[in-house]
Amino acid sequence: MNIRPRRNRKSAVIRGMIEETRLSTKDFIFPLFVIEGTNQKEEVASMPGIYRHSTDLLLKEVEECLTLGIKAFDLFPAYPESKKDKMATESHNPDTFYLKAINKVKTTFPEACIMTDVAMDPYSSDGHDGIVKDGNILNDETLEVLAKMAIAQANAGADILGPSDMMDGRVGFLREALDNVGHTEVSIMSYTAKYASAFYNPFRDALDSAPKAGDKKTYQMDPANLHEALIEAELDEAEGADFLMVKPALAYLDVIRLLKENTNLPIAAYNVSGEYSMIKAAHQKGWLDGERAMLESLLSIKRAGANIILSYFAKEFAKLQG
């Protein structure tokens, strides 16, 4: 045997030198849940270690993360049922706590990069990402609501908008709406290939945003499909997206790889709530080592081709970096 691959694995130093993929705290966007009020911090039952914060405590959390090296955050609001309606009106009410929280975080920590979510579900009495009429999701009418929401979030100080709704044409529609009011600097990270997934349930618990009827299969993609992601990617790119996202991440590593090979735009991957909770639950049961499973999963997402990882593990990862 003149070729022995094990020689390159014989010590930690050699293994370290030839590591092809390295994670950095800079790769991450940390999703955070915001609620109305003061001095509120509630753990999400199905996401151990993840909390819904009122704005005052959110500021503390962001400050702590910044000192750990996390510079980018994706803020999601949780609204009580009483604030929801069919048209998601609260989403563009300039006095709503979510928009004020975005503004507060951005003015307190101008160096932080703030991403927001553009979709109707947290504000919708139907629990859907678009307007529901006779059981159908209305595409073009929804775009008008999304544009109002996007402009309100940009006005509040968001750096990156994340349309997570999967309506057709939304990236171009939002780009034009933003540009028309002078927000040419605000970026769009499109949820390009967002699948109708079972892995979003803990997130829907966190926001109380599960659909009241039906499912999201007429707008989110079928997990069976790979090449359809290329159609979405081509459209988002042509419509002016700055980043393309694949969501979820772990069951869709092939989609991350395919998009990476077919675009020059940066690729983001959303390591979603269910992917987080599975590892936490198995760790709590003593069935696997949560820290090692976390690192291996995050590494696999980057190895597949993601430049950016949205993950509830971001803070835990940053702490390990010391």
For 51, phi then psi, to 5°, come to -125, 160
**Annotated active-site positions, please?**
194, 247
Under rule CB under 6 A, residue 28 binds ligand PBG: no
Under rule CB under 6 A, residue 173 binds ligand PBG: no
**Given the complex with ligand PBG, which of 125 and 262 has the nearer CB atom?**
125
Structure tokens at 192: 């390009």
Which listed residue (88, 115, 158, 272) binds ligand PBG by CB under 6 A? 272
User: Closest separation between CB of residue 17 and ligand PBG, Å?
Assistant: 35
Task: Name the β-bridge partners of 40.
Answer: none
Q: Annotated binding residues, as ranges?
A: 232
Question: Cα 58–61–65 angle (5° rounding)?
Answer: 140
Under rule CB under 6 A, residue 86 binds ligand PBG: no
Under rule CB under 6 A, residue 200 binds ligand PBG: yes
Q: Tokens 């979003």 belong to which residue?
A: 200
Task: Name the β-bridge partners of 191.
Answer: 245
Under rule CB under 6 A, residue 117 binds ligand PBG: yes
Under rule CB under 6 A, residue 73 binds ligand PBG: no
For 259, phi then psi, to 5°, come to -65, -40
**Given the complex with ligand PBG, which of 49 and 182 has the nearer CB atom?**
49
Under rule CB under 6 A, residue 203 binds ligand PBG: yes
Under rule CB under 6 A, residue 119 binds ligand PBG: yes
The per-type count for the chain, helices as H runs and strands as E runs, is 11, 12
What is the C-alpha separation between 195 and 216, in angstroms, rounded? 9
Task: Name the β-bridge partners of 129.
Answer: none
User: Closest separation between CB of residue 272 and ligand PBG, Å?
Assistant: 4
Residue 88 one-letter amino acid: A
Which listed residue (129, 159, 236, 237) binds ligand PBG by CB under 6 A? 129
Query: 3-class SS at 166?
Result: coil
Q: By CB under 6 A, name the binding residues for ligand PBG.
A: 117, 119, 121, 129, 164-165, 200, 203-204, 272-273
